[in-house]
Amino acid sequence: MPTLSAHPAVRARSPVLLGGLTGLVLAAAAGGCLTLAAASGISPVHAVLLVWISLSYCAAGLVAWWHRPDNRCGPLMFLAGAAGFASALGWSGTTAIRTVGQLADLLPLVLILHLFLAFPVGRLTGRPERLLVGVGYVAAVGVQPVAMMLGGFGPDHPLFLVDAPDAGRALFHGELLAISAVSLAGVALLAARRQAGGRPLRRSLGLLIDSFGLGLVMIAVLLVVGVFGGPSFPVVQRVSLGVISLAPVAFLAGLLGARLARTAVADLVVELRTEPADLRAPLARALGDPSLAVLYWLPQFASWTDQDGKPLELPTDPARTTTLIERDGAPVAALVHDAALNDERELLDAVSAAAAITLETGRLQAELRAHVDELRGSRARVIEAGQQERQRLERNLHDGAQQRLIALSLDLAMLEASLGGDSAARTRLAQARGEIATSLAELRDVARGLHPAVLSAHGLDVALESLAARASVPVRLTVRLDGRLAEAVEVAAYYVVCESLANIGKHARATAATVSVAQADGQVVIEVLDNGRGGADTEGGSGLRGLADRVEALDGRLRVWTSSGNGTRVQAELPCG
C-alpha cells in the first residue's frame, strides 16, 4: 500500500501549502511594517516603497530558490528582503524592537551589493568581489553597533555605553561613505565584466545586469546624500528605492521568459518535423539566444564542423559554453550558446531532446558536405600535381631533346659545308636537316601543349595571342584583364581556349571563331564561339570533360551550347582568386 506522503494529492498540495504559509508570513510582515510606519508618522510613500522592495526581494528570492535550489541567488535575494523588513523595525516605539531595526539598518544594502556581484551563480568568484563585500559587511554589521554604543543614535537603547554622540555620528557617517564607496567599486566591477565579456546576448539578462549597475549607483548616491543631508534627501531616497526595486522585477521577468521558452519546445518539435535547411534558426528562437551556433561532430574526420562541413573549434571564451548532444554515448552535435543558459538546464535538455534526431540528420548532411569539400580539394590537388608534372616535362623537352636536335642540325650544316662537290651527299644531308626541323617543330608543339612557357613568362593575353595566331581558322580575340591572375586561373583559362580551338579545327568545319576573355565582379569569363556545324559531344568526349574537371576544381563553371548547323559556344566562369 502506498504511504500517505507518496499520494499524488499530498504531493500536489505540499507546494501550495508551503506557498500559502509563506505568503501569509510576508503579508503579516508587510502589514506590521506599514502599521509601525503609520504609528511613527513615517511618510506613506517611503513606507510603501520600503515594504514593496522587501516583498519583491523576498518573493523573487523564494521563486528563484524553488526553481534553482543549487543557485545561491535565491537565498541572497530572500535575505535582502527579510533584512529590509528587519530594518523597518527601527520605526517601532518599543526600545528593544527599535534597536533591532537600527542594527539592521544598512544590512539590506550590503546584501543587495552581495547579490549583484555574486550573480549569476550566487557565489563571489574573484578576490575584488570578496574584498568589497567583506568591507560592506564589516561596515554594516561591525561598525553599526559601535556607533550605537557611542550614542550615535541617541541614548535610548540597550547598547548605549559611552556618551560620545559626535564620535558615534562621525563613525556612522564613515560607515555610510564606506558602503557608498564599495557600491561604486561594485559598479566598476560590473562594467569591467561587461567590457570583458561583451553585452549579454540575452535581452532579459542584459536588462537585469543594467538594473544591477543602476541600483548600486543609486545606493551610493543615497548614502552620500544621507551623510551631507539637505532638503533633497527625501526625493533621492524615494528615487533610489524605486530603482533598487527594479532588480527583482527584472529577475522574475527573466524566470518567466525561461518558463515561456520551455513551452515553446512544442512549437520547436513541429517546426523540426519539416527538417529545415538551417537548424540553427529554430533552435536559437526556442532558446532565446540569437548568438547560438550549431556544430557537428564528424568521427571520420575527428573534428567539429559547421553545417557546411567547414572545420571549427569549440569555444574557450567563458561567456560562451557548450551543450553536447549525444546518441548511444557518442557525440552528435554541440550547441554553443550564451553561458547564462546554464541556469536553465530544463530548457536546454528539452531543446536538445527535441532536436536530437534532426541534428543527427544535420550531422550526416555536414559530413556529406565535408566529403564534397574533400573531394573538391583532392581533385584540385590532382590537377595541380598533373600541371606541375606537365610543366616539368615541358622543361625537360625544352632543355633536353630540343637542344640536342638543334645541335644535331648545326652539326649537319657544318658537315654539309665540308663535303664540297658531293651533290648526292649534300642532298641527303639537306633532307635530314629538313626532317630534324620538322621533328623540332612537332616537339615544340608537344611541349607547348604540355605547358605553355609563354603563359608563365608573359601572361594570359600574350599566350592567347599566340594560340590565335596558330589556329586553323581566323580568330577574333578580345582580352580585357586588370592584370596578371593567379597561375592556376591563367592555366585553366588558357586550356579552355586551347582545347576549344583544337576542337574547332578538328571537328567544327568552321570558317571563323571568336574568343573573348573579360574580368568583372571577381570572376573571369572565357567564351569561345565558332560558326561551324555544331553538335559537339559534351558527354562522351574526354576533352570537354577534362576541361570541366579543371574548371570545377577551381570552383568555376563550364557550360557548352551546341546544336546542329548553328555552331558551338563554350563558356567558362572562374573566380579570380
pLDDT per position as a tens digit, 367-409 = 656 556 656 665 655 556 555 555 555 565 555 566 666 666 7
The answer to whether residue 112 scores a pLDDT higher than 80 is: yes
At residue 474, the pLDDT reads 92
Which residue, 107, 108, 90, 111, is CA-closest to 99?
Answer: 90
The domain made up of 459-575 has a fold known as Heat Shock Protein 90 (3.30.565)
Does 147 score more than 50 pLDDT?
yes
pLDDT of residue 525: 92
- H or E element that contains 237: helix 233-244
Dihedral (Cα; 94, 97, 102, 103), 10-degree rounding: 150
Strands 475-480 and 320-327, how do they pair? Answer: unpaired
Higher pLDDT pick, 423 / 101? 101
pLDDT tens digits for range 334-365: 888 877 677 666 677 777 766 666 666 555 56
Each residue's pLDDT tens digit, 434-484: 776 666 665 565 555 555 666 777 888 888 888 888 888 999 999 998 888
Question: pTM for the complete prediction?
Answer: 0.51
Question: Is 60 exceeded by the pLDDT of residue 182?
Answer: yes
pLDDT greater at residue 202 or residue 192 = 192
pLDDT digit string (tens) for 311-333?
A: 778 877 766 788 887 777 777 77
CA distance 248 to 119: 12
Q: Average the pLDDT over 475-502 and give the result.
A: 86
Mean pLDDT of 226-238: 67
Q: For residue 11, what pLDDT is reported?
A: 42
**What is the rounded average pLDDT for all residues in the chain?**
74
Domain ranges of the chain: 14-259, 277-385, 459-575
pLDDT band at 539 (very low <50, low <70, confident <90, very high): low
Residue 476: per-residue pLDDT: 93
Mean pLDDT of 299-315: 75
Secondary structure (DSSP) of 264-300: THHHHHHHHTT--S-SHHHHHHHHT-TT-EEEEEETT
